Amino acid sequence: MIDRLTDLGSITGALSLLCILILIGGEIVARNLLGISLHFSWDLAGYLMGACFLLSSAAAMKGGSHVRVTALLETLPPAVARVLEVFACLVGFAICVTLSWALIDMAWLSGMRGSTAATAFRVPLIYPQAVLAIGAVLLTLQCLAQFLRLMCGEALATGPGLE
């Protein structure tokens, strides 16, 4: 279930990146051919970049794409390396829980206050902040899945060329 949610977040993150491409391409065409600017393009591109980053971070963890320093793990006895991996996973989980809590709280407060962006776009901040919170929750869940994998004796994925 966690891996399916992670995959959905990854697809949504990729679509966010595609939307940035379309948005910035539209801005370039509008400026150069029509002599106008899409006043919302930079704001929306920033929100989409945050969505891309956080919604895809769980998939990066699942696939082993996050940078890990394995030089120490390779020199330690396997049992000690495993304990260190579990400890690092728990620390990462605690950090992700804190991040998720903070982003959920921020989105909740923005919704309660009716906060909007201080730009011409005036988007209600609850929407982009809620997307960031969802991405952080996905990352937190993937940290939990990594911990469970370690407890079941599985090795964590490592991406190519990251060593």
What ranges do the domains of the chain cover? 2-151
Per-10-residue mean pLDDT of the chain, 163 residues long, equals 92 96 94 89 93 95 76 83 90 97 98 91 93 97 93 77 48
Question: Given the structure tokens 């966010």, which residue do they identify?
Answer: 16
Per-position DSSP letters for 16-29, written without gaps between them: HHHHHHHHHHHHHH
Distance separating alpha carbons of residues 74 and 13, to the nearest angstrom? 33
Phi, psi dihedral angles at 116 (to 5 degrees): -125, 160
pLDDT score, position 159: 65
| pLDDT at residue 160, rounded to an integer | 63
Residue 111's pLDDT is what? 95
pLDDT for the residue numbered 119: 84
